[in-house]
Amino acid sequence: MAGNWKMFKMPAETTAFFEKFRPLAEKSGHCEIVICPPFTSLRAAVEAAQGSAIRVGAQNIAWAKEGAFTGEISGPMIAAAGATHAIIGHSERRQYFGETDETVLKRTQAALEFGIAPIVCVGERLDERESGNTEAVLVRQFQHGIAGLTESQFAKIAIAYEPVWAIGTGKTATPEIAADAHRAIRAQVKERFGAEAAGAIRILYGGSVKPDNTRTLMAQPEIDGVLVGGASLDPVSFASIVNF
Ligand code: PGA
């Protein structure tokens, strides 16, 4: 269960979140929890999560270790802050910041090189769904992106299916729509990495996940977890999601 805070929460707000969230989430031993604050609040999150099973992730990661890459944050920098995960290829990065399938692959490879667990996002836009191209888009994103990993690299990632039309819009994909997309992604994984990898890969659903729709989404065997934006900002709401 991953929370993507996007560009919200200062360090002090991060600390306050964890104070409320930790006792509420303590019961949720059934799942792994990762919270992804902005870079500048990573340290505060790591400190506030200390002694709990909650992990902290970044929302992006550079494809190089260091160098002349203004504005980028590298894997070793993220690891030094104490974070263990990184979201890669979020649709907002693809839409507004020129992220491509190729850069998603490079960032994923770099994350793995520096011991950061990638959560790689894929998903179609509304026009792509309406023109019947959902599967073609997912296949393209997979083939040009994470299909370029080796088998042992692939074993260390999680995938998040996030239909762009469902993100921040209040329009959740129905559990059936999400499960169909997850099946299409899993079929790609099977073709490229084999049946065992397809069984083991964790595919999270993201897009307007809320406390009241988590249970029906998670009831789909294809859905292994959720990536939550807006509803992860409030400790009570995110706790009721992880305790679904
Ligand atoms: P949302 O965002 O839950 O606010 O729709 C999900 C995401 O972008 O990861």
Instruction: Identify the residue whose C-alpha is closest to ligand 1 atom 9.
Output: 229
Determine if residue 57 is left, alpha or beta; phi over 0 gives left, psi from -120 to 50 gives alpha, anything else beta: beta
Phi, psi angles (nearest 5°) of residue 182: -60, -40
Rounded to the nearest angstrom, the distance between the alpha carbon of 164 and the centre of ligand 1 is 9
- Strand spans (E) along 64-184: 85-88, 117-122, 158-161
Which of ligand 1's atoms lies nearest the C-alpha of 121? 9
* Cα distance from N-terminal residue to C-terminal residue, the chain: 10
pLDDT score at 159: 98
Task: Confirm whether 162 is a catalytic residue.
Answer: yes
- Torsion angle of the four alpha carbons 205, 208, 211, 212, in this order, in degrees rounded to the nearest 10: -100
Cβ–Cβ under 8 Å, residues 57 and 119: yes
Q: Given a cut of 80, is residue 29 above it in pLDDT?
A: no
**Ligand 1 in reach of 207 Cβ (< 6 A):** yes
Q: Given a cut of 80, is residue 88 above it in pLDDT?
A: yes
**Ligand 1 in reach of 206 Cβ (< 6 A):** yes
Instruction: Identify the residue whose C-alpha is closest to ligand 1 atom 1.
Output: 229
- The per-residue pLDDT of the chain, averaged, comes to 96
Tens digit of each residue's pLDDT (9 = 90 or more) over 109-131? 999 999 999 999 999 999 999 99
Phi, psi angles (nearest 5°) of residue 116: -100, 130
Tens digit of each residue's pLDDT (9 = 90 or more) over 56-65? 999 999 999 9
pLDDT score at 201: 98
pTM surpassing 0.75?
A: yes
Instruction: Identify the residue whose C-alpha is closest to ligand 1 atom 3.
Output: 229
